[in-house]
């Protein structure tokens, strides 16, 4: 029903840019760990931008779209730019030197740790990788 209502509003030329955007709400857990909320938001924004093949210039505040002073902590341009810089860093690929060959692969950052897909690293090394779903075991043959 919500989709029908949104469709009707768009049909009537009464629409908001919010109908075409992905919104992310930053809510601090009951433990009050703002830093964890911030880092989770950085990681989620990077993930969504990469998933939908967008770049950092496609990242907006609610303020940029609606004029609403939200999120308050990013109204200061310096804080917003710092956030975008962290998101961009999370989106960057990582360069590895494997057997003297420079390769570029995707990375994932979780809790400030950088992870690379093991499957991709072993593929570059020329290994065969098999996944046994029932046993939940990865087999690697060099």
**pLDDT tens per residue, range 75-115:** 999 999 999 999 998 888 788 888 888 888 888 777 778 88
What pTM did the predictor assign? 0.64
Q: Please state, in angstroms and rounded to a whole number, the distance separating the CA atoms of residues 140 and 52.
A: 31
Do the strands 113-115 and 94-98 form a parallel or antiparallel pair, or are they unpaired?
A: unpaired
Do the strands 101-105 and 128-132 form a parallel or antiparallel pair, or are they unpaired?
A: unpaired
For the chain, domain boundaries: 2-91, 94-141
**pLDDT tens per residue, range 23-71:** 888 888 888 888 888 988 998 999 899 889 999 999 999 888 888 888 8
Q: 120 is written with which tokens?
A: 């991709």
**Which CATH code is given to the segment(s) 2-91?**
3.40.80.10
Cβ atoms of residues 105 and 94 within 8 Å: yes
The arithmetic mean of pLDDT across residues 113-119, rounded, is 82
Question: pLDDT at position 18, please?
Answer: 66
Question: pLDDT at position 44, please?
Answer: 92
Q: What DSSP letter does each residue of 17-56 carry, written as one string?
A: GGGGS--------TT--HHHHHHHHHHHHHHHHHHTT--G
Cβ atoms of residues 9 and 3 within 8 Å: no
């Amino acid at each position: 029903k919500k989709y029908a209502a949104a469709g009707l509003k768009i049909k009537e030329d009464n629409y908001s840019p919010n109908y075409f955007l992905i919104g992310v709400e930053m809510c601090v857990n009951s433990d009050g760990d703002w830093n964890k909320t911030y880092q989770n938001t950085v990681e989620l924004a990077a993930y969504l931008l990469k998933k939908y093949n967008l770049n950092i210039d496609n990242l907006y505040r609610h303020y940029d779209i609606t004029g609403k002073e939200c999120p308050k902590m990013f109204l200061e341009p310096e804080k917003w730019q710092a956030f975008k810089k962290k998101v961009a860093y999370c989106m960057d690929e990582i360069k590895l030197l494997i057997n003297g060959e420079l390769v570029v692969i995707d990375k994932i950052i979780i809790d400030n740790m950088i992870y690379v897909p093991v499957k991709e690293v072993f593929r570059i090394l020329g290994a065969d990788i098999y996944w046994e779903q029932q046993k939940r075991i990865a087999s690697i043959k060099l």
